[in-house]
Structure 1
Amino acid sequence: MRSFLYAIAIGLVGAALLHIVIILSLPSFTGRDAYTRVQAFGEANRFFPLASEGNTLAPINDDPAMKTAVCTFSVENGPIRLFADGDVPFWSLAVYDEASNEVFSMNDRTSVSGALDTLIATPIQLIGIRKAVPAELEQSILVEMRGEEGYAVLRTFVPTQSRQEAATAFLADASCEAFTADQ
């Protein structure tokens, strides 16, 4: 009887672990993980704003007090520079790898001069850049990314309707481009 109860307990623990593994791996099997969904928004190296509830053609932004834009990128052929500047009360940036693990995050309070100016590169690319930092990167925040692909999420706070236009312009003017030393 004792071995029978032991076998049942082991079976239940094994079944629970199997269910947890299946549930956690489901997004990668369905193709509906965050990275795949962001890739479907449009071309790489360009911020795409998330829509409010009224526009069903674009992905939905579920927080009315925030405006959000996303950009997919690859650092395989060179670093990516993220830049945005504008008169918004608050902005934040989060950079994720292709497995949706957060690589880096910051906001306007932790940036240099309140503007978003970030360079994302592989460790090898950053070594070359740090040897001779180009003048245009002197105020930039350098971010090391171990993988080659990822996405960035840029959000800005819209406390009142009167700030809506400034927030929209901030996201529309944000850039997510391949960096070349002559920029």
Structure 2
Amino acid sequence: MRSFVYAIAIGLVGAALLHIVIILSLPSFTGRDAYTRVQAFGEPNRFFPLANAGDTLAPINDDPAMKTAVCAFSVESGPIRLFAGGDVPFWSLAVYDSASNEVFSMNDRTSVDGDLDTLVATPIQLIAIRKAVPAELEQSILVEMRGDEGYAVLRTFVPTESRHEAATAFLADASCEPLAAEQ
């Protein structure tokens, strides 16, 4: 009797673990993981704004007090520079790899002069850059990315309707471009 109860308990624990694994891995099997969805927004190396729920554009940003833009990129052929500036009360940036693991995050309080100026590169690319830092990258924050592909999420706070235009302009002017395009 004791071994029967033990077998039932082991079976139930195994079934529970199997169900958890299946549920957590489901997005990667369906192609609806975050990275795949960001890639579907459009061409890489460009910020795409997410629409608020009242707007007609897709994809949807579910927080009405925030405006959000996303950019898919690859650092395989060279570093990517993320740059934005403007008069917004708050902004934040998060960089994710292709498995949606957060690689780096920052906000306007931790930036240089309140502007976004970040360079995302592989460890080998960063070594080459650090040997002779170009003048335009002296104030940039260097971010090491182990994989070749990822995406960035840039968000800004819109506390009142009067700040809506500034937030929209901030996201529209944000750049997510290969470093070679800026030289």
Query: TM-score band (shorter)?
Result: over 0.9
Contact 1:66-1:157 within 8 A present in 2 as well: yes
Length, aligned pairs only: 183
**Partner Cα separation in structure 1 for residue 134 and residue 116 of structure 2:** 17
- 1:144 CA displacement: 0.0
- 1:53 CA displacement: 1.5
Alignment partner, residue 148 of structure 2: 148
**Partner Cα separation in structure 2 for residue 181 and residue 156 of structure 1:** 25
Contact 2:70-2:153 within 8 A present in 1 as well: yes
User: Match for 2:70: what amino acid?
Assistant: V
Secondary structure at the residue paired with 1:51? Answer: strand
- 1:181 CA displacement: 8.3
**Partner Cα separation in structure 2 for residue 23 and residue 56 of structure 1:** 31
**Partner Cα separation in structure 2 for residue 25 and residue 115 of structure 1:** 37
**Partner Cα separation in structure 1 for residue 57 and residue 64 of structure 2:** 18
Alignment partner, residue 46 of structure 1: 46
Kindly indicate whether residue 31 of structure 2 is the aligned counterpart of residue 31 of structure 1: yes
- 1:32 CA displacement: 0.4
TM-score, normalization by structure 2:
0.98
**Partner Cα separation in structure 2 for residue 110 and residue 53 of structure 1:** 30
Contact 2:92-2:154 within 8 A present in 1 as well: yes
Q: 1:65 to 1:181 in 2, by over 3 A?
A: closer
Alignment partner, residue 131 of structure 2: 131
**Partner Cα separation in structure 2 for residue 137 and residue 27 of structure 1:** 37
Q: 1:162 to 1:62 in 2, by over 3 A?
A: same
**Partner Cα separation in structure 2 for residue 181 and residue 44 of structure 1:** 14
User: Match for 2:74: what amino acid?
Assistant: S
Question: After superposition, where does 1:28-177 map in structure 2 within 5 Å?
Answer: 28-177=28-177
Contact 2:46-2:176 within 8 A present in 1 as well: yes
- RMSD of aligned C-alpha atoms? 1.0
**Partner Cα separation in structure 2 for residue 62 and residue 142 of structure 1:** 30
Percent of residue pairs identical? 89
User: Match for 1:104: what amino acid?
Assistant: F
Secondary structure at the residue paired with 1:113? Answer: coil
User: Match for 1:117: what amino acid?
Assistant: D
Q: 1:138 to 1:50 in 2, by over 3 A?
A: same
Structure 2 unmatched ranges of 5 or more: none
**Partner Cα separation in structure 1 for residue 129 and residue 181 of structure 2:** 9
Question: After superposition, where does 1:3-42 map in structure 2 within 5 Å?
Answer: 3-42=3-42
Secondary structure at the residue paired with 1:139? Answer: coil
**Partner Cα separation in structure 1 for residue 91 and residue 121 of structure 2:** 22
Contact 2:53-2:64 within 8 A present in 1 as well: no
